[in-house]
Chain A
């Protein structure tokens, strides 16, 4: 797509601005970050391999990083590599101004580990394992896992994206703002503290 040139065209920029939830500055910044990911020899490539994307400090320790790459990647190889447009998509979905619908759509896809369109028991197990981390002492025991998956509250919810949307509305912290971290530390604190803790 040839968008990895050092400078984005004006038309392209306005087009991106129109189609994503990002502002001009954010797109330029994203472009800068993206070109940094491409080393000199593979400047002519159109997409950044997944390993490079995962080395971003914002994604480095995120347990869902691979899923995020896979969901946003449009490559036919299914290798999770991101073009600049995919990268913009990612940032746009994670930005504050993205609609809840977009957020829940991508949240669903991130949580749908086997890409079969449902959040079933296996997905749930993987999700919980991602949440609880890799170490042995933090993991749930098989018994606990079984109990969790069979928990009626979850199974009521588990297949409904509308419910997920509602949940998201309840609890904003699920999707936060990679955008913020990508646009520098000075804006990191723009995101308000979690609603759950807010005293009036």
Chain B
């Protein structure tokens, strides 16, 4: 125990009471320094601008000041239980924060309340002068040490009542309510306090009209909040899941909800600005001769290919509100109207800007939430002091089911053991050759399988394409349609099977720490998904989009869109199948045949990575399939309910500890970095460098997609002089790379500053923690020496029986100064936090 000084106090002798009185001067000097510290600290506070520091600082000063304030009372309560320690030591001891906290006597609480009320009163009197840190000292309202508790309590109470009476009614009520006294006590106090008022129905008579109004408004506001919170998606289900499976599983479902909100946003923007206008003014197109087989729903071909779903359907016309639909779609006259009052809606432009803006906003939201969650996961104690949180704050008093209570205890036990083993075995290392070999083998297996999977997908895609070319010459049959589903099927199979292999490999590796194991498995799965998507993107954008004629495609954008649609769908089907077979059947099998009691465990990392994969597909396909977010929304909704019911029926809570906050940070950063960034790179690549197909879509007859904006700007310049500045804006913002560079620079700077601030806070926190520890050590040392001095005084004639006294004193006179100065030097930020110690040493010197 580094900090807590362990005092085994025995009852004290009565006569020592006398000596207690004599030390008032020393006590005063101590208080004087305490008071000084207040003003000194205000200065420091101004220097330290960071909020967290301020809070910590004020808390630290609180600790010290409260210690000073309560020194007198605690001694009273402790008087009867001590014997061996000298009175001075006892006095010092009792003024220590650790001793004065837990004394839960009514007396003390009342006096604390008293202090607070005087503070409040002072605050009201001189609002501008009193800052948070410079609290008024108790000295002015000195509580005389009185030998009789009862008497003192009475005077205290009277004082408190007086203090309270000088406050406003609202403050009184608030102060009384916030006092940790029993209700009966509070009722008594309240009667005393409000005795000067005649009216007994206090609530109505004393609360002024405006505050009644405020109260009513508060009620309405809370009612609104309540309704709002009840509107939050799936609140009940999430609560239930969290109560049963813990925060880890909950983070998965919250992640689904986050993704759902992203997709709803994408869908709304796309639907409003792109799909809706086009749906109101549909283009003329030849009625399709496709048979309806139902398979189109899966492949996206047939009648679906010529619908609002895909890129190919959209026109390159401008819609005018006055134009009739058939005129508008013909693209004659309306497109180049010269009437400035007419609202023209340029579909290609809308397409370009809608996609751009959705990506932009999504990116900003992602980065923002990432920074937020980074900030959260590096909070004060989360950085290191996990143990204390686990012990003091891990119990959820909400849990009332017996099973859940057992589950919670089990979880806490495993987590505690986890932490203890981390503390103990931090430096333990394997370092064996066989271990290295196993790791090498595992990595080569996983990397090799990933590589072969990607290669296989590449070859298979090529092969399937050749087959499709052959088929295209003949009659279109159902079989050919179904063959389109082969590639997504193979990819999803790989996605399903390889993680199983990785699990097997990591089981073989036998990691020491479950966290390392988790990160390794996430990394491997991620690598697999990234390489698969990379190969597919190369296939679509590098091969098909580059020479669409060679592949016999009229409209390659629609084809790629259909492919992505198929991938999304097949991925969902495979997930559903996995849920049924992997979880339901397996549970039945293992319970029925293998007679195992344990149910399968819900694999959070893998499920989250699947979600991320699906979201990447959606982002990739946004350009080619504007309605893909709608499909993703449906998928996520179904997935939520499917996973929820499967979880409730089949699975059990994981026994592994799961640091939910850190994991959600990881998830969101994975979503941001490879997933979103990859999607944005490939979409930008498509817009900037690939020639859109000339036969379909909004960008037909353009060399590149981004030319539509250019064209529009030039048109605008020639037709509408009032809006010519938009051309300039477009030129500056979109075509000039300088702006983009500036934007990126500012963005990076903001990120940099943010990380610096976080880093600084963390450093300060560790400094403060060290400071606390040092203070504890110093206190312990000083108290021991104080005791020694006292013993030396008491037994001056028998040095042999108490040899350590003088020795300790000598030591202290050397070392005490040293510690004092070294403390002063080590903590440049907080030199005054040694004040308590200074007070102590002053006292000691006054004594000797």
Is B413 among interface residues, defined by CB-CB distance under 8 A?
yes
* Chain A neighbourhood of B257, CB < 8 A: 199
Contact of B406 among A60, A133, A153, A176 (CB under 8 A): A133
**Residue in chain B with minimal CB distance to A59:** B400
* Chain A neighbourhood of B384, CB < 8 A: 153
Known A-B contacts A18-B203, A131-B395, A196-B661; A171 and B389 likewise in contact (beta carbons under 8 Å) = yes
How far is the CB of B94 from the nearest CB of chain A, in Å?
A: 11
Known A-B contacts A89-B183, A131-B395, A189-B236; A155 and B99 likewise in contact (beta carbons under 8 Å) = no
Known A-B contacts A138-B413, A197-B660; A18 and B388 likewise in contact (beta carbons under 8 Å) = no
Contact of B392 among A10, A117, A167, A196 (CB under 8 A): A167
* Chain B neighbourhood of A26, CB < 8 A: none
Report whether A19 and B178 are in contact in the complex, using a CB–CB cutoff of 8 Å. Answer: no
Contact of A147 among B101, B103, B424, B769 (CB under 8 A): B424
Contact of A18 among B101, B177, B401, B416 (CB under 8 A): B177
Report whether B183 and A155 are in contact in the complex, using a CB–CB cutoff of 8 Å. Answer: no
Known A-B contacts A14-B203, A21-B177, A61-B400; A174 and B405 likewise in contact (beta carbons under 8 Å) = no
How far is the CB of A61 from the nearest CB of chain B, in Å?
A: 4
Is B385 among interface residues, defined by CB-CB distance under 8 A?
yes
Report whether A170 and B180 are in contact in the complex, using a CB–CB cutoff of 8 Å. Answer: no
* Chain A neighbourhood of B97, CB < 8 A: 159-160, 162
Instruction: Report the separation of the CA atoms of residues A11 and B372 in the bound assembly, to the nearest whole angstrom.
Output: 48
Within 8 A of B (CB), among A54-111: 57-64, 72, 74, 83, 85-86, 88-89, 93-94, 99, 101-102, 105-109, 111
How far is the CB of B55 from the nearest CB of chain A, in Å?
A: 9
27 A-B pairs in the complex with CB atoms less than 8 angstroms apart:
A1-B184, A11-B201, A14-B204, A18-B176, A57-B400, A60-B400, A62-B397, A83-B184, A88-B183, A124-B391, A128-B416, A133-B410, A138-B409, A139-B413, A147-B423, A153-B386, A156-B385, A159-B97, A163-B388, A167-B381, A167-B393, A176-B398, A192-B229, A194-B250, A197-B247, A197-B664, A199-B668
Instruction: Report the separation of the CA atoms of residues A161 and B17 in the bound assembly, to the nearest whole angstrom.
Output: 29
Instruction: Report the separation of the CA atoms of residues A101 and B372 in the bound assembly, to the nearest whole angstrom.
Output: 27
Q: Contact flags (1/0) for B646-661 with A, using CB distance below 8 Å?
A: 0000000000000011
Interfacial residues, chain B to chain A (CB-CB below 8 A): 1-4, 6, 59, 62-63, 97-99, 101-104, 173, 176-178, 180, 182-184, 186-187, 190, 200-204, 226, 229, 235-236, 238-239, 242, 247-248, 250-251, 254-255, 257-258, 368-369, 372-373, 379-382, 384-389, 391-398, 400-402, 405-406, 409-410, 412-413, 416-417, 420, 423-424, 660-661, 664, 667-668, 769, 772-773, 776
The 6 closest A-B pairs by CB, nearest first: A117-B102, A133-B409, A159-B98, A200-B369, A197-B247, A176-B398
**Residue in chain A with minimal CB distance to B371:** A200
Is A168 among interface residues, defined by CB-CB distance under 8 A?
yes
Interfacial residues, chain A to chain B (CB-CB below 8 A): 1, 10-11, 14-21, 57-64, 72, 74, 83, 85-86, 88-89, 93-94, 99, 101-102, 105-109, 111-112, 115-120, 124, 127-128, 130-133, 138-140, 144, 147-148, 150-164, 166-168, 170-171, 173-178, 180-181, 188-194, 196-200
Instruction: Report the separation of the CA atoms of residues A148 and B254 in the bound assembly, to the nearest whole angstrom.
Output: 33
Instruction: Report the separation of the CA atoms of residues A165 and B178 in the bound assembly, to the nearest whole angstrom.
Output: 15
Known A-B contacts A160-B63, A200-B369; A155 and B3 likewise in contact (beta carbons under 8 Å) = yes
Report whether A194 and B242 are in contact in the complex, using a CB–CB cutoff of 8 Å. Answer: yes
Known A-B contacts A60-B400, A200-B373; A109 and B104 likewise in contact (beta carbons under 8 Å) = yes
Known A-B contacts A62-B400, A88-B183, A108-B101; A154 and B203 likewise in contact (beta carbons under 8 Å) = no
Instruction: Report the separation of the CA atoms of residues A157 and B6 in the bound assembly, to the nearest whole angstrom.
Output: 14
Report whether A118 and B102 are in contact in the complex, using a CB–CB cutoff of 8 Å. Answer: yes
SS class, residues of chain B in contact with chain A = helix
Instruction: Report the separation of the CA atoms of residues A132 and B173 in the bound assembly, to the nearest whole angstrom.
Output: 40
Instruction: Report the separation of the CA atoms of residues A191 and B386 in the bound assembly, to the nearest whole angstrom.
Output: 24
**Residue in chain A with minimal CB distance to B105:** A117
Instruction: Report the separation of the CA atoms of residues A105 and B104 in the bound assembly, to the nearest whole angstrom.
Output: 9
Report whether B182 and A156 are in contact in the complex, using a CB–CB cutoff of 8 Å. Answer: no
Instruction: Report the separation of the CA atoms of residues A127 and B1 in the bound assembly, to the nearest whole angstrom.
Output: 18
How far is the CB of A19 from the nearest CB of chain B, in Å?
A: 5
Report whether A85 and B398 are in contact in the complex, using a CB–CB cutoff of 8 Å. Answer: no
Contact of A199 among B226, B248, B388, B667 (CB under 8 A): B667
Report whether A148 and B391 are in contact in the complex, using a CB–CB cutoff of 8 Å. Answer: yes
* Chain A neighbourhood of B250, CB < 8 A: 193-194, 197
Q: Which of A21, A112, A162, A178 has most chain B Cβ within 10 Å?
A: A162
* Chain A neighbourhood of B242, CB < 8 A: 193-194, 197
Q: Which of A64, A155, A157, A200 has most chain B Cβ within 10 Å?
A: A200
How far is the CB of B649 from the nearest CB of chain A, in Å?
A: 21
Q: Which of A11, A168, A170, A197 has most chain B Cβ within 10 Å?
A: A197
Known A-B contacts A147-B424, A196-B247; A154 and B101 likewise in contact (beta carbons under 8 Å) = no
**Residue in chain A with minimal CB distance to B116:** A101
